[in-house]
Chain A
Amino acid sequence: MNILNLFSAMPGAVAQGLIWGITAIGIYITFRILDIADLTVDGSLCTGGAVCIMMMLSGHNVVVAMLVATVAGMVTGLATGFFHTFMGIPAILAGILSQLGLYSINLKIMGKANQAINVDKYDLLVSLRYIKGVPFYKNSIFVVAIGIVLLVLLLYWFFGTELGCALRATGCNGNMSRAQGINTNTSKVLGLMISNGLVGLAGALLAQYQGFADINMGRGAIVIGLAAVIIGEAATSRIFHNFGFKLIGVAIGSIMYYIVLQVVIWLGVDTDLLKLLSALVVAIFLAMPYWRRKYFAKPAVKKGGKDNA
């Protein structure tokens, strides 16, 4: 257990954390803003990775490949939204259906369960190899960090527009939204598309980073994303109140998750157990608000003076 090994693993953890941070921001949009737990992401992450790798293998430019991967992610969100709104299927089940269907689709996109891409032959935007010994502007940590800042700016702008406000209102209060003329179904579909578009983009980055797309690369993505959201909120909610900073907080949560993961691995914990650990940690954090209400709720005190409005 040489501490130097841990230190040398840190840049990689940070880079992975940042890439997963984009997934987590996507999950934040459905989970926190729309109030939907969207399980599509387990499939759409791989869709993004698969599309990106296959496009690049067939000679397309990395930027084009990533754009198409993002659009592919949005289409998966559209499918889930369609199941949920047009067909009236509960959101969780709609996501599971998409996820299952995407397993086949992802296999068809790749032609097999795994497609590798050689970093020496293709011009990748990010890679394991671009962590040390490259100029800073080529460093994957720098590149993804800049990407996140740009995405957050874009989302910050969008959620301040009429459409973005309609989406926030939909997640908060559907009755009120419809009474104010908002088509809540459209809002939900749009939110699912944006979210899965981000997840598809994250998949494209992840596949480049690890040098391959794999049919299982998205397994548990929803849990990792939720963990990042929860850790990020716990760590930054005292200091970050602005919406844009909250999104940054989620990305920070993702980095923290990967750093902790590295430490756990360095401590010699059996890596087969990592997903179990993640699941338990997320379960406990998700239970917190419920426990707080149930066991620590203060008796409702009527606030005199404030009520005679």
Chain B
Amino acid sequence: MLEMKHVTKVFNPGTVNEKVALNDFSLTLEDGDFVTVIGGNGAGKSTMMNAIAGAWNVDAGEIIIDGTNITKLPEHKRARFLGRVFQDPMTGTAATMGIAENLALAKRRGKVRFLGPGITHKEWEEYRELVKILGLGLEDRLSAKVGVLSGGQRQALTLLMATLQKPKLLLLDEHTAALDPKTAAKVLDTTEYIVNKDHLTTLMITHNMKDAIAHGNRLIMLMDGKIILDIRGEEKKKLTVEDLLHKFEAASGEEFTNDKAILG
């Protein structure tokens, strides 16, 4: 489904701030994989996702989604393969537009936009049903501007938008990190529900080890722009936080420094 082959990304090359954010990075996902991604601050997790999403071009390597080489495609053209939810709840929605209008924008991802209606009457009914799965009461406020919603509501809506057109790959970059624990748990439940319902291939970055263990069928850990741990199958199912710490020490050759960013 996704193949990243020997991808390298260097920020600020040739300056004192030079940073190799992805270092000969390779990753292959199978259809239906739900991979959780952990790693310390600055490990390159977001950079990995931005490379896939096309925020900038990578310096070397190839990225292939479902047989299509997207390495050189501009961001908006890759969007038809991808659903994205960002860490910052403000990033995923258009605040000055209504809830239904935002969904309608997402519905047209990957389609040619011309002079057809921005949203049809039929869609209003469709979205009224759709937002019910969030259990947030949004079905009664479809015309409300997204700007008046709470962070959790916006993330839940962004999740719906990301999956409204079934994406080949769903990218979640710490999408619950900015929410309070209760809200975060709820958004995570919704994520699990949607991913299972639509059998979405998913990459989910999280700063919370327990979440990384509880969700998905595979777990990878990044450090210095490389994958240092890759756990799947039965091993993943039996994984505990302690195992993970031991494995981290073995893989990195470092004492685990009770890094808050990793433990969550």
Q: Assess the A178–B76 pair: CB atoms within 8 A.
A: yes
Looking at B74, B76, B92, B93, the one whose CB has the most chain A CB atoms below 10 A away is: B76
Given A165-B105, A165-B119, A181-B76, are A176 and B183 also a contact pair (CB < 8 Å)? Answer: no
Q: Assess the A176–B92 pair: CB atoms within 8 A.
A: yes
Q: Assess the A180–B97 pair: CB atoms within 8 A.
A: no
Interchain CA distance A184-B75 in the complex, whole Å: 10
User: What is the interface of chain A mostly: helix, strand, loop, or mixed?
Assistant: helix
Q: Assess the B150–A179 pair: CB atoms within 8 A.
A: no
Looking at B53, B105, B115, B149, the one whose CB has the most chain A CB atoms below 10 A away is: B105
Chain A, interface residues (CB within 8 Å), range: 20 to 34
Q: Assess the A162–B76 pair: CB atoms within 8 A.
A: no
Given A172-B97, A181-B77, A182-B76, are A308 and B115 also a contact pair (CB < 8 Å)? Answer: no
Q: Assess the B95–A173 pair: CB atoms within 8 A.
A: yes
Task: Give B82-94 as 1s and 0s: 1 = Cβ < 8 Å from A's Cβ atoms.
Answer: 1010100011111
| A contact residues around B93 at 8 Å (CB) | 173, 176
Q: Assess the A181–B110 pair: CB atoms within 8 A.
A: yes
Q: How far is the CB of A288 from chain B (nearest CB, A)?
A: 19
Q: Name which residue of chain A comes closest to B84, CB basis.
A: A179
* A168 CB within 8 Å of chain B: yes
Interchain CA distance A163-B161 in the complex, whole Å: 18
Interchain CA distance A307-B76 in the complex, whole Å: 32
Looking at A163, A165, A177, the one whose CB has the most chain B CB atoms below 10 A away is: A165
Q: Which residues of A, 155-171, contact B by the 8 Å Cβ criterion?
A: 158-166, 168-169
| B contact residues around A159 at 8 Å (CB) | 118
Q: How far is the CB of B18 from chain A (nearest CB, A)?
A: 23
Residue count of chain B within 8 Å CB distance of chain A: 45
Q: Assess the B94–A172 pair: CB atoms within 8 A.
A: yes
Given A178-B75, A181-B76, are A162 and B115 also a contact pair (CB < 8 Å)? Answer: yes
| A contact residues around B74 at 8 Å (CB) | 183
* A306 CB within 8 Å of chain B: yes
Q: How far is the CB of A76 from chain B (nearest CB, A)?
A: 23
Q: Assess the B108–A173 pair: CB atoms within 8 A.
A: no
* A309 CB within 8 Å of chain B: yes
Q: Assess the A165–B79 pair: CB atoms within 8 A.
A: no
- Taking a contact as CB atoms closer than 8 A, the residue among B75, B84, B97, B180 that contacts A169 in the complex is B97
| B contact residues around A178 at 8 Å (CB) | 75-76, 79
Interchain CA distance A161-B119 in the complex, whole Å: 8
* B253 CB within 8 Å of chain A: no
Given A165-B105, A180-B106, are A172 and B152 also a contact pair (CB < 8 Å)? Answer: no
Q: Assess the A181–B91 pair: CB atoms within 8 A.
A: no
Q: Assess the B114–A184 pair: CB atoms within 8 A.
A: no
Q: Assess the B113–A182 pair: CB atoms within 8 A.
A: yes
Q: Assess the B183–A309 pair: CB atoms within 8 A.
A: yes
Q: Assess the B150–A309 pair: CB atoms within 8 A.
A: yes
Task: Give B181-197 as 1s and 0s: 1 = Cβ < 8 Å from A's Cβ atoms.
Answer: 01100100000000000
Task: Give A166-205 as 1s and 0s: 1 = Cβ < 8 Å from B's Cβ atoms.
Answer: 1011001101111111111000000000000000000000
Q: Assess the B105–A308 pair: CB atoms within 8 A.
A: no
Q: Assess the A162–B117 pair: CB atoms within 8 A.
A: yes
Q: Name which residue of chain A comes closest to B153, CB basis.
A: A309
- Taking a contact as CB atoms closer than 8 A, the residue among B110, B115, B182 that contacts A163 in the complex is B115
Q: Which residues of B, 132-146, contact A by the 8 Å Cβ criterion?
A: 136
Q: How far is the CB of B185 from chain A (nearest CB, A)?
A: 11
Task: Give B103-125 as 1s and 0s: 1 = Cβ < 8 Å from A's Cβ atoms.
Answer: 01110111101111111000000
Q: Assess the A176–B91 pair: CB atoms within 8 A.
A: yes
- Taking a contact as CB atoms closer than 8 A, the residue among A161, A168, A169, A179 that contacts B79 in the complex is A179
Q: Assess the A169–B105 pair: CB atoms within 8 A.
A: yes
Q: Name which residue of chain A comes closest to B107, CB basis.
A: A180
Q: How far is the CB of A174 from chain B (nearest CB, A)?
A: 10
Q: Assess the A180–B150 pair: CB atoms within 8 A.
A: no
Q: Name which residue of chain A comes closest to B91, CB basis.
A: A175
Q: Assess the A308–B97 pair: CB atoms within 8 A.
A: no
Q: Assess the B96–A168 pair: CB atoms within 8 A.
A: yes
* B151 CB within 8 Å of chain A: yes
Q: Assess the A307–B53 pair: CB atoms within 8 A.
A: no
Q: Assess the B105–A180 pair: CB atoms within 8 A.
A: yes
Interchain CA distance A180-B75 in the complex, whole Å: 10
Contacts from B to A (Cβ < 8 Å): 53, 74-77, 79-80, 82, 84, 86, 90-97, 101, 104-106, 108-111, 113-119, 136, 149-153, 156, 161, 180, 182-183, 186
Contacts from A to B (Cβ < 8 Å): 158-166, 168-169, 172-173, 175-184, 306-309
Known: A160-B119, A182-B76, A182-B79. 12 other contacts (CB 8 A): A162-B117, A169-B94, A172-B95, A176-B93, A179-B75, A179-B79, A180-B79, A180-B106, A181-B80, A307-B180, A307-B183, A309-B136
Give me 17 A-to-B residue pairs in the complex whose CB atoms sit less than 8 angstroms apart, sorted by A's number. Answer: A160-B117, A161-B115, A161-B116, A161-B117, A162-B114, A162-B118, A163-B113, A163-B114, A165-B97, A165-B105, A165-B118, A166-B113, A173-B90, A173-B91, A180-B161, A182-B76, A183-B76
